[in-house]
Chains A and B, each alone.
Chain A
Amino acid sequence: MNTKTAERRWILFFISPALVVVLIIILLPLFMSLFNSLFSWRQLIRQDFIGLENFRKVFFTEPYKTRFFNALKNNGLWFIVTMLIQNVGGLLIGYFLSRRVWAHEFYKRVIFIPVLFSIVAVGFLWGLYLSPNGLVNGFLKIVGLPQLTRAWLGDESIATFSIIFVNIWRWIGFPSLVFLAAIDNVPMDCLEAAWLDGATDRRVFFKVILPLIVPSILIITVLTIIGSLNVFEQIYTMAGLDGAPNFSTDTIGTLFYRTAFGSVDSGNPEIGIGSAIGVIIYLLTFLASVASIVVLGKKEIEL
């Protein structure tokens, strides 16, 4: 046996366990989703090839059309609110932590605490606090603002926002500390040069720091896209699988689950439609990630 074959055997030995698992559990199901979405189904049994009929149903026929676009709108809302509040907030928090404000090490640890908790536990906890006789309304009454009390999760116009805010409470520590690490990595000579030129803090932030942390902004943006498209547990725990009240908090994730395991239309699982929605989730994730890489990648500065 020569060394070349021996080496080949070792490589095979090292990579094949992981390769088999990834191929069977991640990549095979991806292709099966694509394949399944092109067929009609009776329960778990594949019937006839029907081309893009399932996709046509999702986009153009009731009740799927209304449900799908309603859910997609909510996912869009999740993305926008999370970007504006969580990620901009995280950037500010990261910036001030990097300026070594008093007790910054303590704040850094505190802000990251809820990141470790399961979405399910956080969702149920805040579900109790946000209920009509819960802690939040109780607090508003104590501080003399009883007119602000709401059915936070029961009012169609604010339920989605309430749930998004709970999720921001849980996750804002993540972008904060990613941005903190990025800002701490900005080379000192760049900053010193700016100060010598008499630049104000604000100018340094926008003209020096921000362009240099574009890679981190990119990662956080892509993660936010993936996260927003995958919202499920938050709705499940705080609004229920139907996206109560009246589907106002429904998302692609909950709609997908209902379609796959007990249906929108007939009460039966609809594998064809469900697979089509699954494929749409894949495509949206992929396209949105590529788009943000292209857009933000152009703004990246080489040192």
Chain B
Amino acid sequence: MISDLRLKNATPGKKILIIFVQLAFICYSLIIFYPLFNMIISSFKSTREILRFPFALPQKLDFSSYKTVWVDRGFGHFFFNSVWMTTVSMIFVLLFGSMAAYGVSRYAYRMRTAVYMLFLSGIMLPLKAAIIPLFILMKKLGFVDKPISVILIFIAMGLPSTIFILSGFMKTIPKDLEYAARIDGCNDWMIYRRIIMPVIAPAIALVTIYNAVPIWNDFFFPLVFLQNPAYKPLPLGLTNFFGQYSTDWSLLFTALTIAILPVLILYVFMAKYFIKGMTAGAVK
């Protein structure tokens, strides 16, 4: 923490700097807000209105395009797919990830560092670059065009960082807690489940956000593996939609609003957690 930069008691030179910085921040906030605001108002306009009066407010609040996109064009379905695929992936990321973190942080054994490094190597490796062998592998397993293909990949994507973050937290828990539980007759699973997991609950919240956001947003793996419209998650559904209705801007802005607004609303209520969670891998 360093000294505050405030107008009060500042030298004239500093005052200019402060005013300049404020103007820059206000301008940049507008650069972030206005495109989002315009997206939302455009979703209520007709394509003609959008092209002729791009900055004007809509003449009336017309929700009909929302019904078209959500019901007739299947966005409700895409949305639901994203929800359940992200949920299932995250359950396994958290379960397997916390178990492995427990296994590499609470025991002393010879292969421990090797196992830990093996998990960590996954953080650096760009998984997209392995798409060809992954595709061949999924084809052999008969998983192509089935949700399990992307769910398996999402789990693998999430595990290394989850293990890295959680084992960091688990290392700080005193051994005494564990000994006390053992005397009371707890086995290792009960220690993991009843002692360690409750203690690291805040870290679990952190890794949930850290991993759920990229999984929710992922486009590349569904693009490769999921052709069947019944299984398409939101980003892929959005892409197909843009290919099909590229001239109907009214529907396009509606589709974008449906894709972006839920995340934005969630963020308004949980900004602190999102910021902490998303930067968890890069901030101590």
Binding site for B on A (CB under 8 A): 7-8, 10-11, 13-15, 17-19, 21-30, 32-33, 36, 44, 96, 98-103, 106-121, 124-126, 128-129, 133-135, 138-139, 142, 169, 174, 177-178, 181-186, 188, 191, 195, 204, 209, 216, 219-220, 223, 226, 229-230, 232-233, 236-237, 253, 256-257, 260-261, 271, 274-275, 278-279, 281-282, 285-286, 289
Closest CB in chain A relative to B122 CB, distance in Å: 5
State in angstroms the CA–CA spacing of A10 and B178 once bound together: 15
14 contacts between A and B (CB under 8 A): A28-B133, A33-B130, A33-B132, A44-B139, A101-B21, A112-B275, A115-B278, A116-B213, A124-B238, A135-B55, A138-B54, A195-B3, A233-B219, A260-B132
Beta-carbon nearest neighbor of A115 in chain B: B278
Query: If A33-B130, A282-B129 touch, does A14 touch B252 (CB 8 Å cutoff)?
Result: no
Among B38, B102, B136, B217, which residue has its beta carbon within 8 angstroms of that of A120? Answer: B217
Among A11, A129, A271, A286, which residue has its beta carbon within 8 angstroms of that of B103? Answer: A11
Among A28, A116, A126, which residue has its beta carbon within 8 angstroms of that of B35? Answer: A126
Contact B263 A117 (CB under 8 A): yes
Q: How many residues of B contact A (CB 8 A)?
A: 93
Query: If A17-B100, A138-B55 touch, does A99 touch B32 (CB 8 Å cutoff)?
Result: no
Query: If A21-B156, A112-B274 touch, does A14 touch B192 (CB 8 Å cutoff)?
Result: yes
Closest 8 CB pairs of A and B: A14-B103, A25-B156, A32-B133, A29-B130, A118-B217, A18-B100, A99-B5, A15-B103
Interface of B is mostly: helix
Contact A275 B21 (CB under 8 A): no
Contact A128 B132 (CB under 8 A): no
State in angstroms the CA–CA spacing of A129 and B55 once bound together: 12
Contact of B153 with A by CB under 8 A? yes
Stretch from B22-30, B57-65, B68-76, B200-208 at the A interface: B22-30
Closest CB in chain A relative to B266 CB, distance in Å: 8
Contact B5 A121 (CB under 8 A): no
State in angstroms the CA–CA spacing of A99 and B25 once bound together: 13
Contact of B51 with A by CB under 8 A? yes
State in angstroms the CA–CA spacing of A263 and B17 once bound together: 54
State in angstroms the CA–CA spacing of A204 and B266 once bound together: 38
Closest CB in chain B relative to A296 CB, distance in Å: 14
Write out the residue numbers on chain A whose beta carbons fall within 8 Å of the beta carbon of B126. 226, 229-230, 281-282, 285
Contact B134 A135 (CB under 8 A): no
Contact A135 B97 (CB under 8 A): no
Write out the residue numbers on chain B whose beta carbons fall within 8 Å of the beta carbon of A274. 132
What sequence of 0s and 1s flags, for each residue 1-22 of chain B, a beta carbon within 8 Å of any chain A beta carbon? 1111111000000000010011
Write out the residue numbers on chain B whose beta carbons fall within 8 Å of the beta carbon of A120. 217, 219, 235, 238-239, 259
Contact A21 B132 (CB under 8 A): no
Contact B278 A125 (CB under 8 A): no
